[in-house]
């Protein structure tokens, strides 16, 4: 009997991959189990020799692992694109977020602004710097620990504004999504997959990659707030 494949992923794709793992097992006869953690933590574990077969991470982080030789040659491929959205605790007035001016107003009105680790958090800090608000907001920024949903800081009252991937904020109790960042301030992340060099079942791992890149998988990702990367001409591999 074939052994169960093991996968690693960041938290942004956790629910998508949980849904798809059931689909892959039921419709394709391949058992695969993904373990999710903060993207920085996942990359660290790969570098330290954690054995797994398939990995799904933000594009930049996975490309770095590929350059370091941690992926099977030619296995990296883009899957889904996720937008960073803004959110507030349920019960608060939902502000307008239609322009850069609106975004500045929302940021300046917040007492505590929560954001994530990883590429989207870095991009948000860069955006705040570009808006010339870094010094003003310096003491108000709250970075969630790796693997901790930013939305949990809203629900617990530790923040009154938060930014994170749509897939991680949608459907959380106590959280209301305002919407994606407007115009040129928009932040999006591409999530890609690859077969790890440490995989002991690479041929079956490549089968899983094909399924993750399928139209059926894209529909599942769409229900969780992401869109297919292959539909974006600026994406890797296009």
CATH class of domain segment(s) 82-185: alpha beta
Burial of 73: CB neighbours in 10 Å, binned 0-12, 13-18, 19+: exposed
DSSP string, 79-96: EEEEEEEEEEETTS----
Burial of 116: CB neighbours in 10 Å, binned 0-12, 13-18, 19+: buried
Pairing of strands 161-165, 141-143: unpaired
Question: pTM score, two decimals?
Answer: 0.84
- pLDDT by residue for the chain (238 residues), tens only, comes to 478 999 999 988 999 999 999 999 999 999 999 999 988 899 999 999 999 999 999 999 999 999 999 999 999 999 999 999 999 999 888 999 999 999 999 999 999 999 988 788 899 999 999 999 999 999 999 999 877 889 899 989 999 999 998 988 888 898 999 999 999 999 999 999 999 999 999 999 999 999 999 999 999 999 998 999 975 544 433 3
Q: In CATH, what number does 5-81+190-231 get?
A: 3.40.190.10
Kindly state the tokens that stand for 226.
Answer: 């992401």
5-81+190-231 and 82-185, same CATH topology: yes
Provide the residue ranges of all domains of the chain, joining segments of one domain with +: 5-81+190-231, 82-185
Cα separations in angstroms, 96 against 33, 49, 81, 158: 40, 46, 24, 22
């Amino acid at each position: 009997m074939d052994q169960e494949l093991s996968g690693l992923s960041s938290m942004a794709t956790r629910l998508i991959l949980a849904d798809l793992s059931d689909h892959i097992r039921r419709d394709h006869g391949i058992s695969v189990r993904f373990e999710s953690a903060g993207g920085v933590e996942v990359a660290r574990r790969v570098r330290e020799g954690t054995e797994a077969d398939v990995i799904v991470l933000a594009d930049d982080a996975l490309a770095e692992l590929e350059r370091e030789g941690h992926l099977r040659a030619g296995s990296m491929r883009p899957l889904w694109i996720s937008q960073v959205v803004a959110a507030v605790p349920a019960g608060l007035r939902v502000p307008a977020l239609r322009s850069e001016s609106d975004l500045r107003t929302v940021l300046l009105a917040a007492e505590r602004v929560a954001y994530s680790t990883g590429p989207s958090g870095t991009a948000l800090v860069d955006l705040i710097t570009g808006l010339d608000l870094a010094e003003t907001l310096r003491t108000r920024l709250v970075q969630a620990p790796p693997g901790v949903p930013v939305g949990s800081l809203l629900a617990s009252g530790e923040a009154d504004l938060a930014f994170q991937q749509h897939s991680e904020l949608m459907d959380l109790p106590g959280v209301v999504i305002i919407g994606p960042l407007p115009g040129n301030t928009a932040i999006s992340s591409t999530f890609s997959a690859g077969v790890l060099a440490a995989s002991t079942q690479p041929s079956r791992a490549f089968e899983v990659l094909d399924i993750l890149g399928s139209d059926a998988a894209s529909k599942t990702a769409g229900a969780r707030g992401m869109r297919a990367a292959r539909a974006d001409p600026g994406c890797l591999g296009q």
